[in-house]
């Protein structure tokens, strides 16, 4: 046990998330106490460049005083209210209007027209699943209930959202997926899984064919919805192969399957456009968003739904006597006020434009690491990218899982003052959108040092990658 300290207090009281809990008993947590722009500081005063914007989410960095002022002003006026029983408040109205004004395009003739507020992306995706079921019951299609996600897709930690998630670690020993209503189609990782001579476009065709084969095997009359992140976050900051979403959407339209775009990571400038759906010409029926909605200064998320789905909710509610769902803290007025101010700052400071302008330097700095023996591939868009670590990049051979190379790189980076995220042996980068070119250069330098140190350690252990 650690000596009496803040780390000991933390271990005595808190269960940490996405953590190897037994191993943590030896070291305790690194406790952050402050932030300044793209940097955070621990209780010992050590500074870290936050290459992940916290949890892919602190888009405006860690010291935006205008958001603190917005929170304080709202707390002075109305610190809490709800949206149950035909009540509400103007902070939610203001935010909903602003959000819908910038929403991505829905399907032709069926725009995104209404918002359901929540506190997390998991809740949004959970609600989207429920609405798909609810609407199909109204339409007299009680068997059209299956939900398709993708292998290594991530959509949250609630029971339904985790069932939809395609990451085995999220299922093991939790008795998930909860039912056979949750299906998973192929992981669209072209670099790792393309066949010899197969172009990205041909690979995308194969991925669409895999989806169509799954729908036909299950029966199109049983498949309600398909969920996808424009760029897969937990799957390794993985961009889609060229023409992927064009071909996927054609399959969904053919079989009358709803498309829910999970924009929780990609939304609000991350891909260089307001939405990942804009970047990849996705025309969704519902969009879940969160994280950067408030720059993560308050817990808030939103599910935007099409007018067709909204009309179905009206009809069902009239038939049943109530729309029987909701959350106590959904549309919390302080969170709404902070989110509304966040969207204003994005416009005032041209944050999305800045992200697009910095993107070439960001992607170029990481692509410059392709000369490193550990690096097999680098792919990204906007200010999100993944660096693939390979034991033999010429033959696309991965390191053995027990070597935990990705985790070792993540830990060495932290020791060097850089916070990144390992998804297996793929290292993710999603810095705050306010990062500057000089800070990008600093980030890349710290990461190269990390790779060099990791290579030295692997070589000493006889695990050096093939030349």
Domain with CATH 3.40.640.10 in the chain: 70-348
pLDDT of residue 430: 98
Domain 70-348 annotated CATH 3.40.640.10: yes
The CATH number of domain 31-63+350-460, selected from 3.40.190.10, 3.30.360.10, 3.90.1150.10, 3.30.465.10:
3.90.1150.10
Task: Give residue-wise pLDDT tens across range 76-115.
Answer: 999 999 999 999 999 999 999 999 999 999 999 999 999 9
Identify the CA nearest to 238 among candidates 269, 266, 207.
266
pLDDT for the residue numbered 263: 98
Strand partners, 262: 288
The DSSP bridge partners found for residue 34 are: 41
Task: Annotate the chain with three-state secondary structure.
Answer: CCCCCHHHHHHHHCCCCCCCHHHHHHHCCCCEEEEECCEEEECCCCEEEECCHHHHCCCCCCCCHHHHHHHHHHHHHCCCCCCCCCCCCHHHHHHHHHHHHCCCCCECCECEEEEEEECCHHHHHHHHHHHHHHHHHHCCCCCCCEEEEECCCCCCCCHHHHHHCCCHHHCCCCCCCCCCCEEEECCCCHHHHCCCCCCHHHHHHHHHHHHHHHHHHHCHHHEEEEEECCCECCCCCECCCCCHHHHHHHHHHHCCCEEEEECCCCCCCCCCCCCHHHHCCCCCCEEEECHHHCCCCCCCEEEEEEHHHHHHHHHHHHHHCCCCCCCCCCCCHHHHHHHHHHHHHHHHCCHHHHHHHHHHHHHHHHHHHHHCCCEEEEEEECCEEEEEECCECCCCECCCHHHCHHHHHHHHHHHCCEECEEECCEEEECCCCCCCHHHHHHHHHHHHHHHHHHHHHHHHCCCCCCC
Q: Is the pLDDT of residue 23 over 90?
A: no
Model confidence over 37-65: pLDDT tens digits?
A: 999 999 999 999 999 999 999 999 999 99
Residue entry with tokens 């960001």:
362
Give the model's confidence band at 2: pLDDT under 50 very low, under 70 low, under 90 confident, else very high. low
Q: What is the pLDDT of residue 356?
A: 97
Q: Residue 464: its pLDDT value, please? A: 87
53: left (phi > 0), else alpha (psi -120 to 50), else beta? left
Average pLDDT, the chain: 96
Q: Are 439 and 39 in contact (CB under 8 A)?
A: no
Task: Please report which confidence band the pLDDT of residue 4 belongs to, taking 50, 70 and 90 as the band edges.
Answer: low
Query: Mean pLDDT throughout 156-173?
Result: 96
Count CB atoms within 10 A of the CB of residue 313.
17
User: What does the pLDDT read at residue 27?
Assistant: 87
Q: What percent of the chain has pLDDT over 70?
A: 99
Predicted pLDDT at 68:
98
pLDDT of the residue at 26 = 87
Q: Kindly report, as residue ranges, where domains of CATH 3.90.1150.10 are found in the chain.
A: 31-63+350-460
Residue 467 in this model has a pLDDT that exceeds 80: no
| Average pLDDT of the segment spanning 389-396 | 94
Task: Give 184's contacts (C-beta < 8 A, 6+ positions apart).
Answer: 148, 149, 150, 151, 153, 166
d(CA 287, CA 110): 13
Rounded to an integer, the average pLDDT of 190-214 is: 97
Overall average pLDDT of the 166-176 stretch: 95
User: Could you tell me the pLDDT band of residue 3, with boundaries at 50, 70 and 90?
Assistant: low
């Amino acid at each position: 046990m650690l000596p009496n300290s803040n780390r000991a207090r933390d271990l005595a009281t808190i269960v940490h998330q996405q953590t190897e809990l037994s191993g943590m008993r030896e070291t305790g947590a690194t406790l952050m106490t402050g932030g300044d722009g793209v940097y955070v500081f621990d209780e010992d005063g050590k500074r870290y460049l936050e290459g992940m914007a916290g949890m892919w989410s602190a888009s405006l960095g860690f010291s935006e005083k205008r958001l603190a002022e917005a929170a304080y002003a709202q707390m002075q006026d109305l610190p809490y209210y709800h949206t149950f029983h035909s009540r509400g408040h103007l902070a939610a109205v203001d935010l909903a209007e602003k959000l819908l004004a910038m929403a991505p395009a829905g399907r032709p003739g069926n725009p995104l027209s209404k918002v359901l507020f929540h506190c997390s992306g998991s809740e949004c995706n959970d609600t989207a699943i429920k609405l798909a079921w609810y609407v199909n019951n109204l339409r007299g299609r009680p068997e059209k209930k299956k939900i398709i996600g993708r292998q290594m897709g991530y959509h949250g930690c609630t029971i339904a959202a985790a069932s939809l998630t395609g990451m085995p670690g999220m299922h093991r020993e939790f008795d998930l997926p909860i039912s056979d209503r949750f299906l998973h189609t192929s992981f669209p990782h072209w670099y790792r899984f393309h066949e010899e001579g197969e172009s990205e476009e041909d690979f995308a065709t194969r991925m669409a064919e895999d989806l169509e084969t799954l729908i036909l095997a299950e029966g199109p009359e049983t498949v309600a919805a398909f969920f996808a992140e424009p760029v897969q976050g937990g799957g390794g900051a993985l961009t889609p192969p060229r023409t992927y979403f064009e071909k996927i959407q054609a399959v969904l339209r053919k079989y009358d399957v709803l498309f829910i775009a999970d924009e929780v990571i990609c939304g609000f400038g991350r891909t260089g456009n307001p939405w990942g759906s804009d970047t990849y010409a996705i025309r969704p029926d519902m969009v879940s968003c969160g994280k950067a909605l408030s720059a993560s200064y308050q817990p808030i998320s939103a599910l935007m739904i099409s007018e067709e789905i909204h009309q179905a909710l009206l009809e069902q509610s009239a038939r049943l006597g109530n729309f029987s769902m909701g959350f106590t803290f959904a549309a919390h007025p302080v969170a709404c006020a902070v989110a509304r101010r966040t969207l204003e700052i994005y416009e005032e400071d041209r944050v999305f434009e800045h992200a697009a302008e910095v993107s070439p330097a960001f992607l170029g700095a990481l692509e410059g690491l392709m000369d490193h023996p550990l690096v097999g591939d680098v792919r990204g868009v906007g200010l999100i990218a993944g660096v693939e670590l390979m034991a033999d990049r010429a033959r696309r051979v991965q390191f053995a899982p027990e070597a935990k190379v990705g985790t070792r790189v993540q830990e060495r980076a932290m020791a060097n003052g850089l916070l990144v995220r390992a998804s297996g042996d793929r290292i993710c980068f999603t810095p705050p959108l306010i990062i500057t070119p000089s800070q990008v250069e600093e980030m890349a330098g710290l990461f190269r040092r990390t790779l060099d140190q990791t290579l030295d350690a692997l070589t000493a252990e006889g695990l050096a990658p093939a030349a």
